[in-house]
């Protein structure tokens, strides 16, 4: 009888396998392979050679193919690309914010695995947790809960208070690597601070690092329905100022989450593919602050009884909105809008810097019979309670927000009133671009569409907003008395000085101007508002010379103080995977009014291919002047 084989050495061929599996940027010293693709190993025996036909070698492995994308361009974008854009602003002025995902940077794979080991699931039952790690549904919920720190020592603390003295203003971050490395270096203490786009960006890094196709998605005018009735209620006072919401329903100017690609064997056929995961701590799901995975197709079809957290995801893109006037302890219904929630749902295009609008993936066209049918189906399922939904309570960032806006940098809500026939309309119009540091000039347009004279009293106000809809204190008010002849239009000029709004402005740079008009001897009210996003000039980045691996490269960064006042504590931050080993910080100090600066830095690129530089300038007056530059790095000789 032949002597049994004894293994002397196993060569995992890590370098060759990792290159074929596109994991060589992570490591070439240990085997990292992806699902659904062959790899080679070599066994060396010490007692005799392998004899085909006589010897049998049995490998016991367990693999799956539940996250496989059959499109190579999609795999390159959603797994391999280590930079991208997160869309912010408002629905009529969408701006890309550059972000360094950096999933292949040094130690990131180990930090991601550490994150899994720090989860409550692993702490409670490590054996079961490890056994379930092959399931993308399971692992995505674990990661989602670990990105925020509400239940555990997760990666990020959320903060919507505008007080960031003991941490970093969320608007200042330009990448995930610095956040994940800080979390790991401090013994897994939560990093201060994050908001929705930071949570989503860090989750994208972790999921791409773990090999799950992931993209970052922005929803403009995003609903946050806390009680599960698919209605967002907004309250106004008699000046048109939006009020703190007792129910804590909100419409966020924009909200950011992730989509991850996976099979859903736990759902009926047809509901696999892109799934919503939202790591921002808004509501609890099975006792933890996480949301999803919720099938995007299930959201579109109103199948809110399918796991996980589909009702909440549905409300973010397709809730209705009701406006109420609060006065004298009473509430008067002004308007109900079926199409204001969920607009221009956006993500970065495949292998392009352009924006993809994916709204049609989430819902049928607003105003279409299919959209209303789906809404009513979802509402009926919620009312009958045929599912175990999320806990519609314990809202974290819970505050209301404005209705809408117009022009390249502002959104506009037309006159709202209960009458089906609007006889008088009010609308705001900007007279010039709303640039930071300058006065805001606009007019209120009043139009009498009736054949009768109209005497109007219009209360005007302005207040700052946070991107989650939180109203701050009003800083400007005015009253206009307008008499309109039949069919007449008039304009009322308005100006808000920089000195009036500068000290009240939030980091989000949002100002809401509103008008509440009433006709003489009539109880009816007319509401109009506009949200203005103030803009900064961007940072210009120039690459001086050819970019070649392991060759010195000079980067020129040009920026200026956009304000007519001196700013202090200026810091320029740069990063870029494959270009800088770590985040670069340049202390600038004081910048005089409108002063322009040019800074040159030297670096040595260490990875070839398409790369991106991300830059941010902060000061005591502003926090997030951004810029980016794409760079192609040649491998060289």
- Summarize the annotated binding site as residue ranges: 318, 320, 366, 371
Q: 160 CB contacts (<8 Å, ≥6 apart)?
A: 195, 396, 397, 399, 466, 468, 470
> 3-class SS at 531?
strand
* Total residues found in the chain within this entry: 637
> Using CB atoms within 10 A of its CB, is residue 452 exposed (0-12), middle (13-18) or buried (19+)?
exposed
> 3-class SS at 242?
strand
Q: Which residues does the annotation place in the binding site for Ca(2+)?
A: 318, 320, 366, 371
Provide the H-helix boundaries in 353-495: 359-362, 369-384
Region of 221 on the Ramachandran plot (φ > 0 left; ψ -120 to 50 alpha; else beta): left
DSSP string covering 222-233, please? Answer: EEE-SSSSSEEE
Question: Could you give the angle at the alpha carbon of 63 between the alpha carbons of 58 and 65, nearest 5°?
Answer: 140
Question: Which position among 255, 309, 412, 624 bears the catalytic label?
Answer: 255
Q: Tokens 């994150």: give the residue.
A: 115
DSSP string covering 274-335, please? Answer: EEEE--S-SSBBTTBS----EEHHHHHHT-TTSTTTHHHHHHHHH-EEEEEEEETTEEEEEE
Q: Could you tell me where the beta strands, DSSP code E, fall in 466-582?
A: 471-484, 489-496, 510-519, 525-533, 540-544, 553-560, 567-575
The C-alpha atoms of residue 508 and residue 158 are separated, in whole angstroms, by 16
The C-alpha atoms of residue 579 and residue 101 are separated, in whole angstroms, by 13
Residue among 196, 215, 208 at smallest CA distance from 316: 196
Q: Identify the helix (H) or strand (E) that includes residue 108.
A: helix 108-117
Q: Is 196 a catalytic residue?
A: yes
Sign of torsion over alpha carbons 598, 601, 607, 613: negative
Q: In degrees rounded to 5, what are phi and psi of residue 376? A: -65, -35
Question: Which position among 82, 278, 468, 508 bears the catalytic label?
Answer: 278
Q: Identify the helix (H) or strand (E) that includes residue 587.
A: strand 584-591
Q: Is 391 a catalytic residue?
A: no
Q: Is 420 a catalytic residue?
A: no
Is there a cis peptide before residue 391, judged by omega within 30 degrees of 0?
no
Question: Which position among 112, 196, 290, 291 bears the catalytic label?
Answer: 196
- Active-site residues, by number, are 196, 255, 278
């Amino acid at each position: 009888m032949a002597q049994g084989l004894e293994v002397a050495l196993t060569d995992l061929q890590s370098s060759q396998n990792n290159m074929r599996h596109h994991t060589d940027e992570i490591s070439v010293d240990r085997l990292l392979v992806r699902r659904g693709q062959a790899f080679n190993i070599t066994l060396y025996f010490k007692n005799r050679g392998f004899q085909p036909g006589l010897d049998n070698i049995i490998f016991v492995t367990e693999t799956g193919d539940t996250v496989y994308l059959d499109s190579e361009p999609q795999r390159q974008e959603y797994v391999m690309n280590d930079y991208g854009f997160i869309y912010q602003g408002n629905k009529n002025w969408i701006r890309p914010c550059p972000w360094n995902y950096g999933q292949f940077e040094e130690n990131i794979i180990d930090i991601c695995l550490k994150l899994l080991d720090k989860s409550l699931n692993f702490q409670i039952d490590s054996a079961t947790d490890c056994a379930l790690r092959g399931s993308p549904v399971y692992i995505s919920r674990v990661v989602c809960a670990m990105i925020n720190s509400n239940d555990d020592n997760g990666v990020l603390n959320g903060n919507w208070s505008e007080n960031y003295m003991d941490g970093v203003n969320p608007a200042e971050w330009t990448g995930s690597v610095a956040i994940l490395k800080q979390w790991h270096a401090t013994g897994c203490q939560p990093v201060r601070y994050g908001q929705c786009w930071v949570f989503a960006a860090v989750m994208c890094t972790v999921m791409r690092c773990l090999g799950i196709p992931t993209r970052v998605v922005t929803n403009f005018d995003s609903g946050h329905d806390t009680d599960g009735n698919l209605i967002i209620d907004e309250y106004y006072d008699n000046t048109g100022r939006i009020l703190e919401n007792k129910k804590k329903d909100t419409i966020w100017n924009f909200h950011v989450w992730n989509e991850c690609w996976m099979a859903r064997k736990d759902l009926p056929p047809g509901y696999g593919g892109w799934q919503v995961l939202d790591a921002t701590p808004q509501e609890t799901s099975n006792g933890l602050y996480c949301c999803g995975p919720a099938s995007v197709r299930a959201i579109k079809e109103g199948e809110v009884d399918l796991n996980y957290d589909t009702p909440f995801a549905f409300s973010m893109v397709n809730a209705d909105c009701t406006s109420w006037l609060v006065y004298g302890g009473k509430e008067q219904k002004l308007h109900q809008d079926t199409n204001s929630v969920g607009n221009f749902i956006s993500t970065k295009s495949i292998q392009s810097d352009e924006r993809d609008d994916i709204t049609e993936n989430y819902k049928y066209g607003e105003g279409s019979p299919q959209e209303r049918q789906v809404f009513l189906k979802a509402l009926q399922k919620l009312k009958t309670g045929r599912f175990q939904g999320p806990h519609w309570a314990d809202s974290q960032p819970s505050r209301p927000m404005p209705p809408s806006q117009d022009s390249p940098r502002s959104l506009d809500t037309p006159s709202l009133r209960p009458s089906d026939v609007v006889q008088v309309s009010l609308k705001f119009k900007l007279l010039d671009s709303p640039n930071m540091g300058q006065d805001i000039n606009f007019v209120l347009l009043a139009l009498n569409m009736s054949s009768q004279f109209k005497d109007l009293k219009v209360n005007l106000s302005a207040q700052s907003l946070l991107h989650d809809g939180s109203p701050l204190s009003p800083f400007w008010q005015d009253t206009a008395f307008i008499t309109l002849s039949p069919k007449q239009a008039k304009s009322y000029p308005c100006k808000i000085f920089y000195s009036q709004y500068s000290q009240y402005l939030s980091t989000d740079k949002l100002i809401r101007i509103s008008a509440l008009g009433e006709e003489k001897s009539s109880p009816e009210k007319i509401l109009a508002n506009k949200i203005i996003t103030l803009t900064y000039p961007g940072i210009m980045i120039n690459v001086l010379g050819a970019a070649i691996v392991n060759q010195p490269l000079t980067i020129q960064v040009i920026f200026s103080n956009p304000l007519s006042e001196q700013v202090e504590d200026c810091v320029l931050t740069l990063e870029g995977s494959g270009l800088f080993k770590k985040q670069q910080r340049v202390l600038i100090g004081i910048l005089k009014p409108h002063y322009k600066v040019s800074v040159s830095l030297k670096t040595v690129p260490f990875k070839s291919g398409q790369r991106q530089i991300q830059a941010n300038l902060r000061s005591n007056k502003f926090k997030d002047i951004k810029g980016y530059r794409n760079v192609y790095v040649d491998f060289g000789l």
